[in-house]
Chains A and B, each alone.
Chain A
Amino acid sequence: DAKTTQPNSMESNEEEPVHLPCNHSTISGTDYIHWYRQLPSQGPEYVIHGLTSNVNNRMASLAIAEDRKSSTLILHRATLRDAAVYYCILRRDSNYQLIWGAGTKLIIKP
């Protein structure tokens, strides 16, 4: 079954870029890559998603490897409010269900 692998935690300094890696070596050709984040004591929040091409939105950028076996979420200028657990998720094309991993806890240092 397709799944994702992420570092347990990462630290970054405030106002610096953050690159959050994700491995998904068993991804199938039609699985989408989604990222959600979860702030403390809150429900998850959508960040970004993509299939093959790199994607940008107001929150972040998503860089997808050419072979699609890995991806990187990029926060261009992290703030203290970006401290959260970031989940890299595969969405099955067969039933649209999200397959969640354990996530990366991002710590932002002032």
Chain B
Amino acid sequence: NAGVTQTPKFQVLKTGQSMTLQCAQDMNHEYMSWYRQDPGMGLRLIHYSVGAGITDQGEVPNGYNVSRSTTEDFPLRLLSAAPSQTSVYFCASSYSDHSDTQYFGPGTRLTVL
């Protein structure tokens, strides 16, 4: 199993540009989520999904959209990038929303100029 994969690893955007961060898992997990991590801080939940076709907002959803058309994929879309969205983004998955263990991808480091 590849586990949780994320692309790209690094990305630089200009203010106002849009882009999609990709996340995929091959463990047949129902629960997937996106976090952002700012320097020296813990992770903050952006959006999550408890299954295909179902998404919900986390702690910091503004400026981001998600969709879940398949069990495997959970892309995160930045609508109009802002410097405040400069961060490292992690995707995670688990068997269900109340599973004890979440599996994280390697992260995408995003810089918005």
The interface residues of chain A lying within 8 Å CB-to-CB of B101 are 46
Closest to B3 in A: A43
* Interface majority SS (helix, strand, loop, mixed), chain B: loop
B40 contacts the other chain (CB 8 A):
yes
A-B pairs with the 4 shortest C-beta distances?
A100-B42, A43-B104, A46-B101, A100-B43
Query: Are B98 and A96 in contact, CB atoms less than 8 angstroms apart?
Result: yes
Minimal beta-carbon separation of B69 from chain A (angstroms)? 23
Closest to B48 in A: A97
Closest to B101 in A: A46
The interface residues of chain B lying within 8 Å CB-to-CB of A103 are 42
A102 contacts the other chain (CB 8 A):
yes
The interface residues of chain A lying within 8 Å CB-to-CB of B44 are 100
A45 contacts the other chain (CB 8 A):
yes
Query: Are A43 and B106 in contact, CB atoms less than 8 angstroms apart?
Result: yes
Write the residues of chain B forming the contact surface with A, with a CB cutoff of 8 angstroms: 4, 40-45, 48, 58-59, 90, 92, 97-98, 100-107
Knowing A96-B98, A97-B45, A98-B45, the reply to whether A45 touches B104 (Cβ < 8 A) is: yes
Query: Are B42 and A87 in contact, CB atoms less than 8 angstroms apart?
Result: yes
Centre residue among B92, B100, B106 by max chain A CB count within 10 A = B100
Closest to B103 in A: A46
The interface residues of chain B lying within 8 Å CB-to-CB of A41 are 107
Minimal beta-carbon separation of B37 from chain A (angstroms)? 9
The interface residues of chain A lying within 8 Å CB-to-CB of B43 are 44, 98, 100
Closest to B42 in A: A100
Query: Are B42 and A46 in contact, CB atoms less than 8 angstroms apart?
Result: no
Minimal beta-carbon separation of B58 from chain A (angstroms)? 7
**A32 to B59 alpha-carbon distance, docked (Å):** 19
Query: Are B106 and A42 in contact, CB atoms less than 8 angstroms apart?
Result: yes
Closest to A95 in B: B97
**A102 to B102 alpha-carbon distance, docked (Å):** 18
A101 contacts the other chain (CB 8 A):
yes
**A87 to B100 alpha-carbon distance, docked (Å):** 15
Query: Are B102 and A98 in contact, CB atoms less than 8 angstroms apart?
Result: yes
